[in-house]
Structure 1
Amino acid sequence: MTHQPSAHPDESGAKPPLRKALVAAIVGTVIEWYDYGLYGAAAGLVIGPLFFPGAIASAASLAAFATFAVGFVIRPLGGVVIGHIGDRFGRKPAMLLSVILMGAATVCIGLLPTAVAIGVWAPLLLVVMRCLQGFGAGAELAGAMTLVAEYAPQRRRGFYTSLVLATPPAGIVLATLAFFVFSRLPDDGFMSWGWRVPFLISAVLFFVAVYIRKNLEETPAYQAAVESQDRRAKDKLPLAQLFRTNTSGVVLGFLSITGHNALNYIMAAFALNFMTGPAVGMPASDALLAVTIGSVFGILGSPFGGWAADRFGAGRVMAFGAAAGVVFAFPLFAALESGSTLLATVAIAIGYGLVIGATSGSQGAFLTNLFPTASRFTGVAVTRELNGALVAGLSPLIALALIEAVGGQTWLAATYLSACCLLSLIAVLVARGRGSSAVAEPA
């Protein structure tokens, strides 16, 4: 099957269905990354002392980042289950379920009693909320990219999906800005109630996203794929079809975003803990300001990456970003350990604006082009979330552990990040342009 021209907006601009899809995708993705940005900031500042009291500082930090990683470990399951719903029953119900789970779990984290109040139940409930949050988030960005890619004209797929992928830094900016504001409170106020407010604020975004997504329509590409499937095809699981017909797409997609995820979460979550820890000693407000200002450049850089993907090919732009990450890893860690707010801000700005801008801006087109419509939601979700579980969620923990292993030096953690980016570069080169144009639909 080939996409019919009438299924897409014309090349002159975004028609109303595409605009509605963009708004629905962007709002939900902001919520996802606001939620994860909040927890990343909280893991670096309050989760250890409030939910793991009595542990030495390094052990409490490791425990806090372990609960951060838990949400990523559960994400592939959410990606498979909600991705199956998206490919079998429609994009709309899948995206509603995703945002409901994420929003409810985030608000509940802000209401949790701490270990002082309920003892061991506090970290256990925290893990449960992180699992619910991760399950819903497991299909959020995959669904958002799929929805927009299927409405966008093929020649503009890079740019329109990059608008969605520019929103993760926006969510991180909102999260770190919220924590920055409340971190200015006296320590007692911040640790007792101030840290909760940013989590509770997410309820507003949650209700807005549910309202918008209830009014979504199914994409023309999905409707056409459903109509063209025979009974035999409809009885097959999208996941089984995916691995039977396109295992190479999953493997290449997984490896292609390894460097992107490692860098993104080292800057978004690990950097706060490291800069405010005893090795560097930067004030929390300064560290939050550095991450907030630096993240803004990711919002600006991703659309340029999407534009470049449409002009030069998504694979080429992905390769450029990965290659830049290989080189950038060591200067980044040097800036983070310098203790200088200015150097840290500049380094994070370069990381988000140049490296993440390239890999994020081209990623939507690259990944959605690897899979046909019938298994696209599942394919993108499984690819992203397996990588999220094994790379994104664990990278802050790995970086911290590697620094501890070599007596506080950062060279081993920088080597890990550089190696992740090198793996991505190799995968994109092996793909040989597969992610630069749409996969031919099965007949």
Structure 2
Amino acid sequence: MTAAPPSRKAEGPAPVPDPALLRKVALSSLLGTVIEYYDFLLYGTMAALAFGRLFFPESHETAGMIASFGTLAAGYVARPLGGALFGHFGDRLGRKSMLVLTMILMGGASFLIGVLPTYGTIGIAAPVLLVLCRVVQGIAIGGEWAGATLMVVEHADARRRGLWNGVMQMGSPLGFLLSTLAITATTLLPEDQFLAWGWRLPFLFSALLLVIGLYVRLSVTESPLFRQAADEKNGDAAPRIPLVRVLRDPRALVRACAVGIGPFALTALISTFMLTYATSIGYATSDVMTGLLFTSVAGLVAIPLFSALSDRVGRRAVVLGGAVGIVVLAYPVYALVDTGSTPLLILGMVVGQVVQSAMYAPLGPLLSEMFGTRVRYTGASLGYQLAALVGGGFTPLIAGSLVSASRGMTSTPLVVLAVSTGLVTALVIWRTAETRGRDLTDDAALGGPPGPQRGHGTPDDAARKGADR
């Protein structure tokens, strides 16, 4: 394909990781990510259960569903903005301070949703304020993932980046599990009480989680690679606007976005939209919530396993396996859902979650290894959040529109969506260079061939050529 961009001066040998410090950073990133994703994913499930009736009651039922998922998409639209904003300051000022700020924004927005008056009380102002809170959530989560990922990856040994990042990545299914448990508990209330006040409780619980999260986040140290890069006197290594350097050669950014489309779309289909689809074909809400609990547990097991596997066989092989898996299994998964059997519904959701985890688990080290230290927060964050926007933000909205247009709840449009997004991920990862073991102090190429392996890379990594296939 195209030639590699010109080499830049490397930032020097990587510091030797401190095992005790690394464990502390990984656990603190895990807890912080659990809290952030609890808040963000809580909204998605509640949008399917209640927001259509509470904030868009005058709409037609189908229009209300689409409007409700439209506010969900608003949060995803804001995520790239958050990625660019926090990426800029994270590359200029440091990772830790940005993580504290993202947590404050997320927790505050979630608490405000919990006290927000509904349409019946303040009219059109209710959905407007709901969308504003969702946008703030999107901006916050836009900066969260990359910051937490880099804190772990930049502390870790090159040979075990996937393993340690897998610990942090467990925050997503743990956050979803926590939000699902909170919603499951509130849905045990009579429906009138749930719609009157019960739906607010999981959002109000965010205030307590915010206090815990801030305590943990404030106790960790700054990334050693960022501190090392900040001490460099080489002006070229410290761009005033990191985004400009990333966009100067946008190949890595485009690939980072495209690789993430498949896992985000599949998450939306088997979690957020599954409540709407499964209940429309006869399943009880409690049955679907049980399925979501099982998918969360499956993610907790699969994500660290696939993350560790990517350290041994490479990021590309694991992501490609998951992408091919959903292309092959999309139809069987929805065939299981369409049977009307709760055990088969759960089985289909779990199978979908496992192949999603294979695509998702290596994203942290993969995207981090595509960018140099001085632009890593910006590049990894923006790529990840653009994938979240394209793959996750609009998928429930598109799925709802297609299913409604088919004049009957049929899974065919959902199968097509899953296969299409899986193919995007498969084709792009096939054309992407392997990054496993890349020296993160090498700022030579943003998404092009990795520079010579130094620091804590493995011997076989040193010989690997990074040319695109």
Moved more, 286-295 or 124-133: 286-295
2:164 corresponds to 1:160: yes
1:381 corresponds in structure 2 to 381
Between Structure 1 and Structure 2, which shows a larger proportion of helix residues?
A: 1
How far apart are the structure 1 equivalents of 2:233 and 2:197?
A: 54
Moved more, 235-244 or 140-149: 235-244
1:242 to 235, 243, 246: 246
1:400 corresponds in structure 2 to 400
SS at match of 2:244: helix
Contact in 2 for aligned 1:3/1:221 (Cα 8 Å): no
1:103 corresponds in structure 2 to 107
2:279 corresponds to 1:255: no
2:37 corresponds to 1:33: yes
1:290-329 superposed matches below 5 A: 290-329=291-330
1:280-299 superposed matches below 5 A: 280-299=281-300
How far apart are the structure 2 equivalents of 1:264 and 1:195?
A: 23
- Output one character per residue of 1:293-330: Cα deviation in whole Å (capped at 9) or x when no partner: 22210011001101110111111111111111111222
SS at match of 2:205: helix
SS at match of 2:362: helix
- The percentage of aligned residue pairs carrying the same residue is 35
Partner amino acid for 1:300? V
1:4 to 1, 10, 13: 13
- Output one character per residue of 1:116-141: Cα deviation in whole Å (capped at 9) or x when no partner: 01110110000010011111110111
Partner amino acid for 2:84? V
SS at match of 2:358: helix
CA shift for structure 1 position 405: 2.0
1:3-402 superposed matches below 5 A: 4-9=13-18, 15-231=19-235, 233-244=237-248, 246-277=249-280, 280-352=281-353, 354-402=354-402
Contact in 2 for aligned 1:370/1:435 (Cα 8 Å): no
CA shift for structure 1 position 3: 5.5
1:12 corresponds in structure 2 to none
TM-score, normalization by structure 2? 0.89
CA shift for structure 1 position 57: 1.6
Contact in 2 for aligned 1:294/1:349 (Cα 8 Å): yes
Moved more, 206-215 or 152-161: 206-215
- Output one character per residue of 1:408-438: Cα deviation in whole Å (capped at 9) or x when no partner: 3221221121110111011111013146634
Contact in 2 for aligned 1:326/1:421 (Cα 8 Å): yes
How far apart are the structure 2 equivalents of 1:427 and 1:329?
A: 19
Change (3 A) 1:196 1:404: same
Partner amino acid for 1:144? A
- Output one character per residue of 1:273-305: Cα deviation in whole Å (capped at 9) or x when no partner: 21123xx13221121111112221001100110
How far apart are the structure 2 equivalents of 1:436 and 1:342?
A: 41
How far apart are the structure 2 equivalents of 1:3 and 1:347?
A: 48
What count of residue pairs does the alignment treat as equivalent?
434
Change (3 A) 1:410 1:161: same
Partner amino acid for 1:342? P
How far apart are the structure 2 equivalents of 1:116 and 1:371?
A: 49
How far apart are the structure 2 equivalents of 1:229 and 1:431?
A: 32
SS at match of 1:442: coil
Change (3 A) 1:439 1:256: farther
Change (3 A) 1:133 1:118: same
SS at match of 1:239: helix
CA shift for structure 1 position 171: 0.9
Change (3 A) 1:235 1:380: closer
How far apart are the structure 1 equivalents of 2:214 and 2:441?
A: 33
How far apart are the structure 2 equivalents of 1:430 and 1:440?
A: 24
Contact in 2 for aligned 1:314/1:366 (Cα 8 Å): yes
How far apart are the structure 1 equivalents of 2:170 and 2:79?
A: 21
Contact in 2 for aligned 1:85/1:93 (Cα 8 Å): no
How far apart are the structure 2 equivalents of 1:337 and 1:32?
A: 33
Change (3 A) 1:21 1:440: closer
Moved more, 334-343 or 318-327: 334-343
How far apart are the structure 2 equivalents of 1:17 and 1:256?
A: 31
Misfit runs of 4+, over 6 Å = none
Contact in 2 for aligned 1:365/1:436 (Cα 8 Å): no
Partner amino acid for 1:410? S
Contact in 1 for aligned 2:321/2:358 (Cα 8 Å): yes
Change (3 A) 1:100 1:344: same
How far apart are the structure 2 equivalents of 1:428 and 1:25?
A: 27
Contact in 1 for aligned 2:260/2:391 (Cα 8 Å): no
Gaps of 5+ in 2: 1-9, 445-469
Partner amino acid for 1:432? A
SS at match of 1:215: coil
How far apart are the structure 2 equivalents of 1:307 and 1:435?
A: 11
Contact in 1 for aligned 2:237/2:374 (Cα 8 Å): no
Gaps of 5+ in 1: 10-14
